[in-house]
Structure formats: C-alpha cells, structure tokens
A and B are shown apart, each in its own frame.
Chain A
Amino acid sequence: MICSMILFCDTRRRQQQQQQDAAPSEPCDYEGELREHFAQFGHIRKCIIPFDKETGFHRGMGWIQFSSEEELQNALQQENHIIDGVKLHIQAQRPKILQGDQTSDEEKDF
C-alpha cells in the first residue's frame, strides 16, 4: 500500500475495458490482502488495483466489487479500513447518472 489510496466500491460489473491486450495478471500479494480484508463484509467479486508500470506505484485508486448492496453497505459503514498500516479511503461508486436533460415523472407533473 505504502501511500494512501481511494478505493471505489460497487456491486456492478465495471464496464469491460477495450480489448485487453496486456498480459492478464496474477493478483499480487497485496491485492490478496485487500480481498481478505474486505471479505469480512461479504463476497468479493472483483478487486482491481491498477499500477502504473512506468513508475511502479499504484495509481492512488482501486476498485472493489461486492456481490450485493448489503455487503457494500457493511463495508461503507465501518469507519476505518487500515491495510498494512495505512488508512484506506473508501467510497461508493454510484451508477452513472442521467445524461442530459432526461425528464422523469417527477419533473413532469406540475
């Protein structure tokens, strides 16, 4: 971990990235640690911590995907998440919001 990081949590599949041409990677030891930590809140579907190959540091953010909203809430409710001695900031990743001026019923019926 070394320096702190924001971890985005959600329950949805992240959008598939474009053609993955890089070698598929084995989870590194500390991705494993993250999984282990968050497994106490529920089932982890996916855990992604992107590293910058150029610098060797991670990019200051990562994603973790739970299987249910409830598990996600469990994780969010815990105040501190300390991995390898460093506090992790976690934040829920919300679904994409409406694009443009879509009108829901709420706005229509005045």
Chain B
Amino acid sequence: MAALLRSARWLLRAGAAPRLPLSLRLLAGGASRLHAAPFLPAARAGPVAGGLLSQARLYAIAVEKKNYLQEEPSSHRKNASQFDWALMRLDNSVRRTGRIPKTLLQKVFDNTCHSGSPGGNQALLLLRSCGSLLPELQLSERTEFAHRIWDKLQKLGTVYDVSHYNALLKVYLQNEYKFSPTDFLAKMEEANIQPNRVTYQRLIAAYCNVGDIEGASKILGFMKTKDLPITEAVFSALVTGHARAGDIENAENILTVMREAGIEPGPDTYLALLNAYAEKGDIDHVKQTLEKVKKSDLYLMDRDLLQIIFSFSKAGYSQYVPEILEKITYERRYIPDAMNLILLLVTEKLEDTAFQILLACPVSREDNLNDFGSFFLRHCVTMNTPAEKLQDYCKQLKESQMHTSPLQFTLHCALQANKTDLAKALMKALKEEGFPVRTHYFWPLLAGHQKEKNVQGIIEVLKAMNEVGVNPDQETYINYVFPSFDSVRSVRGVLQENGCLPENNVFSQAEFRSEAVTGNLSYVLSFLESNTLPFSFASLRGSLILGFRRSMDINLWSKITELLYKDGRYCQEPPGPTEAVGYFLYNLIDSMSDSEVQAKEERLRQYFHQLKEMNVKIPENIYRGIRNLLDSYHVPELIKDVNMLVDREKIDSRKTTQLTSSVLESTLEKLKAENQPIGDVLKQLILVLCSEENMQKALELKAKYESDMVVGGYAALINLCCRHDNAEDALNLKQEFDRLDPSAVLDTSKYVGLVKVLGKHGKLQDAINILKEMKEKDVLIKDATVLSFFHILNGAALRGETETVKQLHKAIMTLGLAKPSTALSSPLVTLYLEKDDLSAALEVTIDCYEKYKVLPRIHDVLCKLIEKGETDLIQKAMNFVSQEQGEMTMLYDLFFAFLQTGNYKEAKKIIETPGIRARSSRLQWFCDRCISSNQVETLEKLVELTQKLFECDRDQLYYSLLKLYNAYSIFLKAHKQNIVLNNETYGSLIKLLLEKDSFLQAMQVKDVAETHIKGFTLNDAANSLLIITQVRRDYLKEALKTLKTALDLEQTPSRIAVTRLIQACALKGDVESIQEIQKMVNGLEDSIGLSNMVFINNIALAQIKNNNIDVAIENIENMLTSGNETVKPQYFGLTYLFRKVIEEQLEPAVEKISIMAERLANQFAVYKPVTDLFLQLLDSGKVDDARALLQASTLKSLLELIPELIEKEEAYTSIMKSYVLDKDAASAKALYENLTARNIKLNDLFLKRYAVLLKNAGEPVPFTEPPESFEFYAKQLKESRGNPL
C-alpha cells in the first residue's frame, strides 16, 4: 500500500498540481469530502453561496454553453428557464433552511418530467439533491429517490455522461449506500462511459467507508495505470478506510505518507482523522488533534465541527457532544447547517443530541418575535418521537424563551399528521399547563375520518374528547360526525352504544339543525312538539329559516310558526312571541333574494293568511321593516298580506301622538254634524287607513264623503288599491281623480303601480292609456321607473301573458317612455323560452334586432338550442348574428353558449378559430356573469381556453377568477402545497390584495412570487397601486424602488401614483428623492400626464421643510424673472405650495412667500402668485392676511387682472378703505357703482366709509348714511364673520 502511494509521488510532481484550483474542483463536482459524509452538502465554497447548488450553477453554465450549439434555440431557451427556475427554488430552500424538503424536490422532479425532455444539467441538479440535502429522509429512502429519478429520466431520453455517474456515486457515499464498486464500473462500461479521476476517487471512498483497504488499493492501481493524479481527497478517504478497518495507527500514518508524497494534509484530511477518532469515542485524541489544527495555519469550519458531533453521536458517544459544541464559533452560515444536522439526527433517532444543538443555537430570544425550533418539533412528530420526550422539549424551549408556544405548535403538527394518540397526549399536557383545550383542536382528526366515513375512527376521537374533558359542539356533530354516517337518524344509537352520547342537549340541537337545513320540516315539527329540552328560539332561528326555504310545504310552515308562537316552551319569555315571531318573519324574507320572493309570492301569501287565521301577530315596527324589504324586492302586493298580522292593540297603546283612525272618524262625524269643512280630516283619515292597509274601510269612507275628497286622498287610495291588486277600484278612482282635477299629476311610482295592476288584470287598453298619460303629462322617468317597467313586463312574461307583454312593450317603445334596450325587450323572448318554444324565441330575438337593434337573451336562446340539439335553429341564429353583427360576434356568442352548457370541447374549437381576437368587453361580460352566478368551473374553463387567444388581457381574466375565489386563501393553499402559480396570477392576486388594502398579504404574495419566478414583474396598474399603498404606509424608499422598477420595465405609472410619491417626499423634506424622480421620469411627463409644476411646487416645499426657505424662494423668483421660463407665468400655479405651507403652519415661510408674491407683482408684473396666495389665504380663513396682501398696493393691477375678485367682501371692503385713505372719491364712486350694478349687498362699514368720503369731498350721499360709528360697524362686521351662521 505504502509503496503504491510513494510511487504516486512522481506523478504529482510531474504533472498535476497538488491541489487543483478551486474553480476546477467545483466544476468537477467537488473533489473534497469524499469520505463518510452522510451530511452537510458541500465543499468549502459553502459560506459564499448555496453549497452544492453553487457548484451546480457553475456546472450549469458550462453545460449550457455546450448545449447551445446542439439544441434548437427555442427549446434551449425553454430548458434554460426551466432549469433556472428549478435551481432557484432548490437553492433558496437550502440557503434558508439548510435542506430541501422532499415535497419540493418531488415537485421540481415532476415539473422537470412534464417539461418533456429534461436536459443533462437538470438531471444532474436533481441527482445531487438526493444526498445530504434531504436530512428528513431515511438514508435508504434518499437513495431510492435518486434511483427513481435516474430511471425515470433515462426513460424520458436524458443522456447521462460521466458527471451523472459521479453524482450518483456521491449520493451513494452521502447516503452510506452499500454497493459493489466493481459492478458500478461494469455498468459504466456497459453504457460506454469512461470513468474519470473523480469516479475513481469516489470509488476509493466507497471502499474506505466500509473499511475495505484492499478494494481501495485495487482502484488506486487503476488510477496509477491511467496516470491520474492522487489528490488530498484520496488520502483523506484512506484515513477513513484504515480507521474503519480498525487500524487507527495506519490511519494516522497516512498523514506522514502524504507529506512524503509532497502533499501537506489539509482540513479535509484532519477532518477525516477527527471523525475516525470520534467514531471510536476517543475524545482525548479529538481534542489533541483540534489543538494541533488550531496551532497550524489550517482552519476548521463550524460545519466540520458539526460533522464531528454527528460522528460521536452516531457511534453512541453523545456524552462528548457538549465539549465540541463549545468550540463552535457560530459563523454566519451556521444556522442552516445546524438545522440540517438537527434534522438528520432526528431522522437517525438521535433527537436528544439534536435538541442539545438546537438549544445551543444563537438565536435572539428577547424580542419574542420569532419562534425558533418549529422545524425540529415538526420533524420529531413525523419521526414518531415519543410524546413524553416532546413534552419535555417543549417545556425547555419555552423556558429558554426560544419558542413562545412550542406545545401548541407540536399539537398542530400532530393534528396535521393525523397522529391521534400524540395529539391526545399533547392536549392533556396543554391542559395541565393551564391552557384550555378547544373543541376545534379535534376537527382535523375528525375531518380525516369523515372523509373515509370511518365510524370507528370518529367514535375514538369522540371518546378522546370525552377523556380530555371537551364536549363536542353542534359544529362538530354537523360538520364531521353526521356526514360520516349514512343517515343522521342512525347516529344517536351508535353513539349511545359506545357511551359517547352527551347528556346535554347539544346533540339534539345538532340533530335538529341538520334535519332543518335539509328542509325536513315534518321532523322539525315533531321534534318541537315532543321536545322537552330548554331551547332558545334564537338558537333555532337560523336553521329554521334555511329549512323553510328548502321546503315549500306552507302548512308545515304555518304549523311550526304557530307552535313557536303559542307553545310555552319557546317564545314566551320577554320580549315575547310577537317580537320573536315578527323578527323571524323579517329574517326569513330578508334571507331570500328578490327573485325567490317573486317566485314564491303566492305561497308566502298563503302563509301569511294562515298565520292570520291562527291569530299570530307581529309588532308594527317589524311590519314596516318587512314592508320595506318587499318594496325593494318589487313585490309590494304582499305588503297588505303582512299588514294583516300587525298587532293593532300595541299600536294604540304605544302611539299616543298619532291620531288613530277611530278618533279621526269621530272627529269627522262631529265636524260633518256641525256642518264644518271636513276636507283635511277626511284626507288624514284616508291616509291613516291606507297605512293600516284597510282598503275596505277607506273605500267606504270615500263613497260616503265623495264630495269632500281632495286630490291627495285619491292618490293615496289609488296606490292602496294597486297594492291590494284591486284593478277595478283603482281604475274608478283614477277616473274620479281626473274628473276632480284633469291637470293633476300623480307620482311616477303610482302611475307605474296602475300600469302594473291594470296589465295584470287584462285591462290592457287602460294600462296603455295610463302610459299615454305619463307621456302627455311629462311624468319624470327615472332609471328606477325603467326598471319597474322591466319588472312589469317580466312578471307578465313569467305568467305567460303574451298579449300583455307585447302590447305594453310596444306602447312603451312607441310613446318613447324608455329607450329600446336589451333588458326591456328580453321579456318578449322570455315568453317563449318559458314555454320551451325555442323557434319562436329565436324569431322574437331576431325581430327585436330588426325593430330596435338589440338582441335580447341571445345567449340564453343559444344555450337552450344547444341543450336541445336544435342544429338547424343554431345555424339560423348564427347566420343572422354573423350577417348583422359580424362573424366575430357570432363566434363569441357561440363560444359563451358552449361554455355555459359545459360543452368545453366545442368551446375550445370555437375560440381556436384562426383569426379570432380578444374582445375584452365581451369577455368581461361573461366573467361578470360567472361571478354574479358563482360559476367557478365555467370561469376557470374560460380562463383556460383563452390561453392562446390573440391580444387577450390575461390579467383581467385572472383578476375575475380571483374575485370569485377567496383569493388569498387560494394562494395560501397553493403555497402550502408548493404549487407555483404563473407571473400573471401572482400579479393579479397582488393587485387584488392591494385594492383591498391588504398590504401585508400582498407583500407576502410578492415575496413568494419573487422566489418562484425569476424576474417576476408586476404590470403598470399593479405597480402604480403598489406605489400608492407604499406611500400611504410611509414606505417611501420602497415606493421609490417600485417606481424605478416600473420605469426600468418601460411601464407608464399612473399620474396619481407618481404625484403621491412626490408629495410624500416633499412633506419629508426629501429634495434628493424628488430630483431623482424628476430624472427618472424625464421625457415621460406627457405620457404620465405630469406637469412640471408638480416638481417646482414640491421641491420648493421640501426645501422649505428643510428650513431652506430662501433657496426655495430664490429658485421660484429666478424661474419667473429670468426671462427663459420653462413654464409661462400665467400657468405658474403655486397653489399647492401655498396651501401646504399654510396648512402645515410654516409661519416664517408664509411670510416670506407673501413678500415674494408682492415683489413679483409690484416689480415684475407677475400676478399669478399673488392671486393664488390671496385665494389660498381666504380659503384657509386667514382673512386678515389676505387683506394685508391686497392693501399692499397691488390692488389696482389685481383688479384689472381678475375683475370678479371685486365681488369678494374682503376685497371690496379693503379697496374702499384704500380709496378713503387716498381720498380718491372718483374711484370710490366707480367702485360703488360697479358693485351696485352687480347687485351686491354692501356692508355698513363700506357704506359708512363711502358716505364719509363723499361728505368730505363735498358730494351728496346717494343713500342714508349708517348712523353709528366706524368702530361699531367694524366690530359688527367682525362678529358676523366670526359667526358664519
């Protein structure tokens, strides 16, 4: 052996350098650490980059260069980006956590397979990840994984070269896989691959790892015959080899041999020796050797020490671990390496040692922010560490303040892993520590069993709950227990048998609820009848409402309601049955949609009538609530039916202020008897009767006192009759009303009510007459009116009243009461769709197009035609659309109809028609439709099928999809499963979250997107939104960065975003940033819509904020007076600056700016600043300052410039004062005349001044001089300003 090595000497001297340069070592796949290295990934390049992966990266570059010549450019690009993506994900994981999770590797592997033909470099990357980077897997599992990858990729056509074989060898070494090196060589030969130096080195290491020096020598012989250099790695392997063969002396001798061969032992060799000692438990020699290394100029890294720790523990000498741990220096990259080792130790069932290392980790404990150790706890749970141990770890983690809630976290892991016993033990421990055990802790366990309908499992969990002292709640039964059985009825018996039926009434309540929500009202009734448990009505209400809505058995509705109302068990406690049942009715109607109430109108009516029969009453205030609901649902006809239920007695006692109908009635009779006018009382009485919905009485009254009726009374009565569906009387009343006052006009809504009731009762001509009258009297048609028209027509259409629909629609159109629209015409089509007469429906649609240029319900018509397979009619429809609206529209119509009906294949064919382009408005229409009807699948299909659509705004589609999903939770789900979304989806999601102002969530998504997608970018809109949000949160640096990113991508950020950012910088006094922005957007101002004044204003403001007032003012003056202005003086608006300076109360600045404004006006005739400032001062209530500005002799020029300024009281009062001072009676007179001509009311101070001026000038005063003194009026004026009211 020694001879063999000595003879290597010439070789080393002759050719190869003793140690290859670092880069070559890396390219060769890491020649170092060949031996017994079951953990810790990589070469000494570690601290710089991501361990093994940095090698891979370098390797990749080399390989790609080679590939470039061989492959098509496009597939190369695809492969390259695929590779980058995989590399980035793996690299990132190792960097952060020292490992690659199995799921991630699997994901990358699957993705690589899907990509078609994986390249050699991808294969290399995957293979290399299967060693020590998977500390959570058993060694054997890792190797299996590697073999799986190897075989699969080979099948997919990946061509392996020597580097792949070397990588596989390394994985074998790291995983301590037992294999025959000769067989391996034979395999290579078979594949016609020449082994290289690295191959031999690794094979030597493989022999050495099992202490087979003879085998190693054989390989060394090969190397010698091939003139291959013997490197330190080989010697290091031999150290291990001898030691493992039990010959520690010869192991030590290797170092001498090396020196003789001209190679100085490096850290690798010493590490091999140290590991050899550690495996023997020889702490003394380990310490001595470490001392020796320390004294030499060699340096061992923390990860080397970690490896020694592993060797000790694995060999059963964990007592020495603390001594090595002391020597750790905690380098920067220590944590990921330590994490890797900790996980490996747990995998090797050495969790106690792992925990020691964990506790020694230098993590900050004070801030309480980051829990450390979760990864350890999770892995312990996976590896089935006993509960007692875990509890102890948790206790220590908590005591050492490393983790705030270790027990809770461990429980979470146990639940996720579905480990019932562990979870149970942990819950008991939690309880002992004084934490409550919540019912929902058991849900994940139950959820697992429920999916499999595993009754036994469910029972066990229920028993466990019982043991821990937790009572299942209703949710538990309804969501998890009941669905595990075939029927709810059978549950009770089974639970009873197993002794887990609780004594309280929760179970019965749950039974009740689950039956109620399926609409099993007969069960509900019998339950309520036989029940002896105390139930609060409130606890039943929600379930009952759902039950009612799911069953249409009105008799049961009524019986249940009556029972609740009258039975002593339910609603008798305050506030009593009237309130409780009233509120129930309100909730019932509120929970229904308008179309649901419309559809069930008749049944609801029956229900109310039955309740009336049963003498059920509701309070009036609740009735009013219901009335408003019914009104908003467009079913006012039901109001009178609910009104019957109002508790009249209560009204009388409560409302003493409002006169009741009986009092009014007697007053009326009294007045009549006294022969006094009764018009007012009569009207009041009719209104009261109307509000009580007492139509009969109101009509009688009207008949009795007809001659005393007034217009208002008729209007109310007409409306009442309409509500009561009484067409006959409504029409008569309307005629009487007209006779009373032919010019009187009703409210729009009353006309609409008439049209509705007349139409409904077949009095078509009368209804049309009403419409005509609306036109003649020019009744106001609002949007709501048009909507009502639609409801009238649609109601008639649903009742199948063909003539009514046709004639009313025609009248509305010919009279021009509403413009033709798709909505208004759609009832014409509905008529036939309801009758399934598709041919007629299509006919009408086409007819509508010819008459009104609208195509009502074409989508629904097409859907039905497709469902019925009416090919001829489809053809006809398509020909028509194609001819009238173009082929593109036709294709879209067809596409949507196929999508809607679930014919995705056909839809796909349509949308792939060559030449079809995206029509965003149509796509948006369909998206909105899906969103409003909650059709997730349809929308998903739309998004999928439009992938290749030309010019399609994907962003918009994803955005719609996300709107429909609960976006963030989808993201979390995807993230948890390591699913990578694409750039667009992440972008849409971020935009959506920003719009909801969920900044943190948005940033989380962005982080994830950036880790997954190289070069992830947001679009213009999202970036603008991000800037705005960042500004609002005061993250100005980040906002600036975002802006830069956007501009670098040649995006155009929105004006509002840029402006906000500039303004925020200004308020911070950050001049540099503003100037930087100015530079960045240089040349883009027009496309952004940014005025130069934004910069001028804000730079000045920033300077002022920095107390550089003079600089700011000087700059502005220069710009305005230098003669080469960039902005013309008349556009030089400084309003923003002025307002901010005033708002921020920067007094010295306000003063200096005033002076500047005056100077610009007086000396340079630039008036814009002074007027802007004047107006700003006025706006901010600084009247005196404004006045002072005016008095400063700029007045006349100002007035010439803006004549309307004179109308301001502050202005004309000041000007008059200045004329008085100048004794300029002529100007004063002109001013007075000017103002009176403008009809401006002048204040007394002004008049007093003018009068005195005139008197002094000896001129007559054209009005009475105000008698009091100046001071009096000055004070008066001041007070009136102080009190604007």
Contact = CB atoms under 8 A, between A and B. Distances in A.
A51 B408 contact: no
Contacts of B444: 55-57
A19 B1097 CA distance: 51
Contacts of B52: none
A110 B443 contact: no
Given A3-B409, A23-B478, A87-B405, A110 B1094 contact: yes
Contact of A109 (B448, B542, B1135): B1135
B446 interface: yes
B1013 to A, nearest CB: 23
24 contacts: A1-B408, A2-B415, A2-B441, A3-B408, A20-B591, A28-B440, A29-B436, A29-B439, A30-B439, A56-B444, A56-B445, A58-B440, A59-B969, A84-B435, A84-B438, A85-B430, A87-B368, A97-B1032, A99-B995, A101-B1054, A101-B1056, A106-B1136, A107-B1056, A110-B1091
Contact of B475 (A20, A26, A99): A26
Interface stretch (A37-45, A64-72, A88-96): A88-96
Contacts of A86: 404-405, 408
B830 interface: no
Interface of B: 368, 404-405, 407-409, 411-412, 415-416, 430, 433, 435-436, 438-448, 473-475, 478-480, 513-514, 517, 539, 542-543, 545-546, 591, 593, 934, 968-969, 972, 994-998, 1000, 1028-1029, 1032, 1054-1056, 1059, 1063, 1091, 1093-1094, 1097, 1133, 1135-1136, 1139
A55 B447 contact: yes
A24 B543 contact: yes
A21 B1029 CA distance: 35
B447 A56 contact: yes
A11 to B, nearest CB: 14
The 5 closest A-B pairs by CB, nearest first: A24-B542, A56-B443, A56-B444, A56-B447, A94-B997
A29 to B, nearest CB: 5
Nearest to B550: A21
Contact of B405 (A61, A85, A102): A85
Given A51-B440, A109-B1133, A23 B997 contact: no
What does DSSP make chain B's interface, helix, strand, loop or mixed?
helix
Contacts of A87: 368, 404-405
Contacts of B1059: 107
A96 B997 contact: yes
A101 B441 CA distance: 47
B415 A85 contact: no
What does DSSP make chain A's interface, helix, strand, loop or mixed?
loop
B438 A29 contact: yes
B995 A85 contact: no
Nearest to B972: A60
A78 interface: no
B997 A28 contact: no
A54 B447 contact: yes
A103 B591 CA distance: 38
Contacts of A77: none
Contacts of A99: 995
A69 to B, nearest CB: 16
Contacts of B415: 2, 56-57
A28 B546 contact: no
A2 B435 CA distance: 11
Interface string A13-29: 00000111101111011
B84 to A, nearest CB: 31
A68 to B, nearest CB: 20
Contacts of B438: 1-2, 28-30, 33, 84
Nearest to A33: B436
Contacts of B405: 4, 85-87
A30 to B, nearest CB: 4
Contacts of B448: 56
A54 B542 CA distance: 23
B513 A23 contact: yes
Contacts of A26: 473-475, 539
Contact of B443 (A51, A60, A93, A109): A51
Given A93-B998, A107-B1056, 7 more contacts: A23-B478, A24-B545, A28-B438, A28-B439, A54-B447, A56-B440, A57-B443
Contacts of B997: 93-97
A101 to B, nearest CB: 5
A109 to B, nearest CB: 5
Contacts of A51: 440, 443
Nearest to A102: B1056
Contacts of A95: 997
Given A1-B438, A85-B407, A101-B1056, A96 B475 contact: no
